[in-house]
Every structure is written in structure tokens, then in C-alpha cells.
Amino acid sequence: MPVASKIPRLEDPHPDIVLFWTRPSSNASRSIRSLERSLDVRVICNPNWPQIFEQLAALYHNPQSLIVSVTDWFSAYCQVLVHRFTQEEPVCLLGSPTRKLASNVHLLVELRVRQRGESRAISFTNSSIILNIPSNTGADEPDHLDPVTISRNVKEALDFWFNNPDPGSVPEGGNELLAAFPPENEQRTDVTPPRKMPQLSAITTKLLDGPPYSIMIQSISVAHLNVVGNHPSSIYFIADALKKLHAAAENIPEHMYDEWISSKLWLRIRVKDSAFGFEDSTLMVQERDMSLADSIILEALQVIFKVIETMLGYHLVSDNGGIWHYERDEPFEEEPDMELDGGANPGA
């Protein structure tokens, strides 16, 4: 199986970045101006390009394709943000396509809010891409507060407000959000946040919540692979299959697997849910002992292929140098069962 080579360093990507990111006619510049008009604030976005190239360069054929992909991803999320804070329709409907953009550039998304006195900033932090939206206080940079990560209950509060745009309703978990967006009579005069959260259209909601379900397998190195998907139950099903097979190979009772994994097992398997936004989950599989004659990670990859194709009913869309993209167009009749006995193909 092909695996990603050692990540190369690109010393001077400046000319390409000027072309695809900083010039006024670029997608990124237009997206930033759109946010500034919609939110009536100054927007600052200074990606840490050296770190981005260090982490992602091996996944692309050339620097230009990396910059274009990151720019497209950034522009797509800006459109979603504008759409959720205004009554205007975005240039294109975003949902599953946005998920694919995020998966294709291998970035996880987290929305953070921070506030102190007269300074407020909303930051997207994605592999060193930071979009700051500070209050209009004359300063070019926001203060350097430790950001407060929005918790799961606040995410639920946001989701509730998106679908129930009533400024007087405060669902459970809304207090933390209200600290960042105070009531109208306490608003500062220098910033004009939205008074109502817009209700997503039926088409956009369908794109956000329904099929096609997507799974992306990414070979990060010879000892590490990620499986990213927008259907969390599928990701947990794959993780559970790997754990059970690995436990059987090591003669470990299944209920003791997680207790042993920290120090004694050859394979590390864990699932990380996205912190905010689209419901992408990431399964991380890492080989702990590189001195073994046979690669366990390749065996795990074969198991993952088998589970995705035969048990979960996904089909291969593309295979490009250590990146495999699967989709399932039909909804599941029921969530995949974690019990693997019988080899059922759920929902097929």
C-alpha cells in the first residue's frame, strides 16, 4: 500500500501565496471583505504558512495545489459563517461539499470565542490558520488571551438558535455563549452583531445532515493513518472492529483492551470528535513499535478497507497516493451495530 513519504519543507512559498491568498482579487481576500461587511468588524487572517507547509506538503503534488486547497477551504467556511450571521444566501450551498473540502486538506475545525472588556475575537484555528475578528477598537491585533473552547452544551445551544431564531430563548448551556454575545441592551456601540440567528434553508439543512456519507483514509506516515468521516457511528464501528481483532490477536479480554493500550499493545487506536461545526470524527491508528519485521499498520489498513466496503456498504470514489475516499449514498436504516458477530451489512 502506498504511504506518504517524509514531509518535505518548502523554504519560500511567498510568490505562490501572494498569487493565491493576499492579492485583492483572490478568493481569500474577497472572503475576508465579505466577513467585514457582514459582521461590521475588522478581519485579520495571517496563516502560519511555514507550519502549514511542513504539515501538509507531502499530501500535494506541488505548492500551488496546497495553497489553492487551503484557500478554497477557508473561503467555504467564511461563506458558512456569513450565511449563519446574515439573511443572505451564500454564493453556493455548502454542506457535504464543505465537509469534503475540510477532509481534503486534512484540517479539523474548532470555533473559539474570547472576550475581555472592549476586545472580542472569534477565531477559527485550523493547523495554524487563525482568523481573528476583533472588535473595532483601533488595534490591529486582538489581545492575547487564552481562548475559551466552546463546550458541547454550547454547541447544542448554537444549533438550537440556528433552528429557532428567537432572541428571547436561552436553551441550556446558553450562558457561556451569552458571555460572548451579550443581550441587545448591553451591546457595545462599536460592533453590530446579528439580532437573530437565521434559519437554515431546507436544502442547506439536508446537505448538512444527510447523505452522502463520506470517509477519507489518510496515510500520514509508515506508522500512522487517520480515518475521517462525517458519520460518527461508522467511524466508531471501524474503531471497534480494530480493537476487537487486535485484542483477540493479543489474547486480551475485550473489556480490558483500553486499560492495556497505553503501555502494552503494538497498535494505538483512538477516536476524536470534532469540537464544533460539521460532525466529522477522526479515527487515529498508530503503530507503537517500528522495529517489528512486519508492518501492523498495513494489516490494520486491510481490516479498515474490509469493514468500510463489506460491512458498512461504502464504495471507493478515489485512490490518490495514500489517500482513499469512500462514500455511501444511501441512508442507514439503523445505526451500525457495534456487535460484529454475523457480519451484517447495516442499512444495505
Task: Report pLDDT digits (tens) over 134-172.
Answer: 443 333 333 332 233 333 433 444 444 445 444 443 334
Could you tell me the pLDDT band of residue 244, with boundaries at 50, 70 and 90? Answer: confident
Could you tell me the residue ranges of all domains in the chain?
14-207, 211-328
Q: What is the pTM assigned to this prediction?
A: 0.38
pLDDT digits (tens, 9 = 90+) for 39-87: 665 666 666 676 667 666 666 667 777 777 677 667 766 766 666 555 5
95: confidence class by pLDDT, cuts 50, 70, 90: very low
Return d(Cα 256, Cα 264) in angstroms, integer: 12
Q: How confident is the model at residue 290 (pLDDT cuts 50, 70, 90)?
A: low
> Hey, what's the cell of 141?
491585533
Partnered with residue 120 across adjacent β-strands are 115
Chain mean pLDDT for the chain:
58
pLDDT at 121 (0 to 100)? 39
pLDDT (0 to 100) of residue 197: 32
Residue partners of 167: CB distance under 8 A and separation at least 6: 184, 195, 196
Q: Considering the domain delimited by 211-328, tell me its CATH architecture.
A: 2-Layer Sandwich (3.30)
Question: 207-232 pLDDT, tens per residue?
Answer: 344 567 888 888 777 778 888 887 87
- Rounded CA-CA distance 76/99 in Å is 10
Rounded distance, CA 340 to CA 70, Å?
38
- If we measure between CA atoms, which residue out of 44, 43, 47, 42 comes closest to residue 21? 47
